[in-house]
Each structure stands twice: as C-alpha cells, then as structure tokens.
Amino acid sequence: MSAPTPSPAGPRVVVPAGGIGGARFLRGLLAAAPGARVDVIGNTGDDITLFGLRVCPDLDTVMYTLGGGIHEEQGWGRADETFAVKEELAAYGVEPQWFGLGDRDIATHVVRTQMLGAGYPLSAVTQALCARWGLPALGVRLLPMTDDPVETHVVVEDDQGRRAVHFQEYWVRLRAAPPALSVVPVGADAARPGPGVLEAVADADVVLLPPSNPVVSIGTVLAVPGVADALRAAGAPVVGLSPVVGGAPVRGMADKVLAAIGVEPTAAAVAAHYGARGAGGLLDGWLVDERDADAVAEVEALGIRCRAVPLLMRDLEASAAMARAALDLAAEVRA
C-alpha cells in the first residue's frame, strides 16, 4: 500500500519536519507555491503510547495545521477541544496525567491504534487519517520517516539521579528543566525509511529544512539510516531555515537539546552542525534572521550560500515570505 502520486503542477518539494515550526512553515510554503507537490518526511521519534493509544504528536501537528483543525494559539492539538476523557482518566487515578490528551484528539489516536492493531503500517494509517483532513487535495503527502519503532529518549540528571526519559516526558512533564546530557533516537539505527521517503528525496526539485528543532525533530529524521545519505546525494538543492534567531530558539526549548549535542544556540552554529554539502554535509543554502545578518559571512565561509531575511512566523504571510525566500535561495543555488 503506497501513497497515490498526484501529478505535480508546481515544484516537487521535500520537507523533513517536526512539530509546530515545521507545520507553520509548511502552511506558508503551500501559500507561497500553489501547485507544488509537497512531501513531508514526518518525525516519529516523539510518538508515545498513552493509555494504550498510539499518539504521534508531530505527524498530528502537521496534519491538523494543514487540514484546518489545529488550535491556532497553542500550535498543537485541536481547536475547540474538550477534556472530558482526561478528567475521567484522572478520576480513575491512572497515570500519566501530565499529557494533555483532548477528546477530539483522542479520536485520531483511537483510529490510529485500531488500524495499527489490524496490521496496517504507520505510513498507511497516516495516509488514511490525512485523507479526512484533505491533505491530498493540497498536494501534500505526509510520510512518516519510518514504519519501524523509534523513540527519542533524553538522558537527564536531576535530584532523582541520572536517567533516560521519553522525549515527551522531558518536554511536557519536566518542561526541559533538567539539563539534557544526551538525546538518543532509540531504535533509529535499525529503522528503515518509510515507504516513499527515499523516492521523494530522489525525485525532489528542492529540499527545505524548516525551522524545526535540529536535534529532536530534523535530527531524528536524519538518524534513520539512508535518509541523510539520500539528501546528500539528491540532485535537488537543500536549503535550511535557522530555528535560532538572535541567539535563542524562536520557539520551544531547542537550546536545551542543542546543548546536549554540543551545538551553540546560534544561527551559524546550527548551519555548521548540518554542514555544507560540498564538505560532506547537507546544506547548499541557509537562511538566517535579519538580526543575525552578521552570521552570513561566517556561514558562507563554510561553503553554504546564506541570506538574512525575516524569520519570525508571526502569521501566514510571514511564513509564506520565508518559504519564498527559501525557494529563491534554492533557485539561486541551482543556477
């Protein structure tokens, strides 16, 4: 069972993506490039089983955002959400209670869990869920990075000692408060790229790395054997957008996990972490925020074409302008 291939009228764009930042960037991309075929390689390392239900936070954030079901202010979860099930689960005293599963959201997990239990791979389940949200009509395929189990664990140390916790526990329950000593995509070494992932990269006209978390979002996608190699071998230009603006992550707590891999929270350091394609890395181009204009020379010295543009996704128009700047830089690299 493979995803149907729409005939692309515009460019074929591949976007490895994590959660909120990736989803908002994708919405801008669809506005900037109508007719594009967009293949999203979705991070599944954040996935978690709660109360027997399989939850895929990053896939769902992309699906809900593009399908019009997202809670706009929050950036994740469903609009007009209620929490009756969560209240009742708490009344039964079952754990964990730190994860905010909404009622509408739960229906997604119920359908997913039932389909997985019936033997469908996650890629087929995701395709079925996305059909309801109209992603095929938008020219978007949401491809899980893998159908195999990968679970991002974070090694932390606090007054309870040193231990590995699931990324969701680190991010949601502990609010990234304890220092992250390391981040491990458990299972990634044995994972195979999901159906269509390598083909999408090979067929791409352009690859964009959105301003998602370089460690726990894009980093996890790249940890699936074959994906980074495919990107390095791609004929298409690879352009990334810095998730760090003015020395701090635009959203979330990305600096916490950057520290765990020894990367400074600067736009230039993240570019250096991805590396220049000419030097065995991934990037042909890199966008930094206007405020980080002084990083342009530093990034170009690495062999990566670099431009400074506004990088705050305040609204759809700002996100679309960022996508246009990325596509323009890709065209410039290609020329």
**Least distance from C-beta 20 to a copy of itself, angstroms?**
21
**Least distance from C-beta 31 to a copy of itself, angstroms?**
25
Number of residues in contact with a copy of itself, rule: CB under 8 A?
Answer: 28
Among positions 96-125, residues that touch a copy of itself (CB under 8 A) are 102-104, 106-108, 110-111, 113-114, 117
- Residue 239's identity, in one-letter code, is V
Q: Omega into 34 within 30° of 0, i.e. cis?
A: no
Looking at 1, 7, 73, 91, which residue binds a copy of itself (CB under 8 A)? 91
Among positions 295-314, residues that touch a copy of itself (CB under 8 A) are none
Burial class (CB in 10 A: 0-12, 13-18, 19+), 7: exposed
Looking at 9, 84, 177, 233, which residue binds a copy of itself (CB under 8 A)? 84
Looking at 88, 157, 229, 290, which residue binds a copy of itself (CB under 8 A)? 88
**What is the sign of the dihedral through the CA atoms of 324, 326, 331 and 335?**
positive
Looking at 32, 41, 59, 129, which residue binds a copy of itself (CB under 8 A)? 129
Q: Could you tell me which residues come within 8 angstroms of residue 238 by beta carbon, excluding any fewer than 6 positions away?
A: 206, 207, 208, 209, 231, 277, 282, 283, 284, 285
| Closer to a copy of itself by Cβ: residue 109 or 273 | 109
| Closer to a copy of itself by Cβ: residue 52 or 262 | 52
Tokens 């570019």 belong to residue: 271
Among positions 12-51, residues that touch a copy of itself (CB under 8 A) are 51
The widest CA-to-CA distance across the chain, in whole angstroms, is 62
By CB under 8 A, residue 82 contacts a copy of itself:
yes
**Least distance from C-beta 78 to a copy of itself, angstroms?**
8
| Closer to a copy of itself by Cβ: residue 116 or 174 | 116
By CB under 8 A, residue 169 contacts a copy of itself:
no
| Closer to a copy of itself by Cβ: residue 129 or 326 | 129
Among positions 62-81, residues that touch a copy of itself (CB under 8 A) are 81
| Closer to a copy of itself by Cβ: residue 51 or 99 | 51
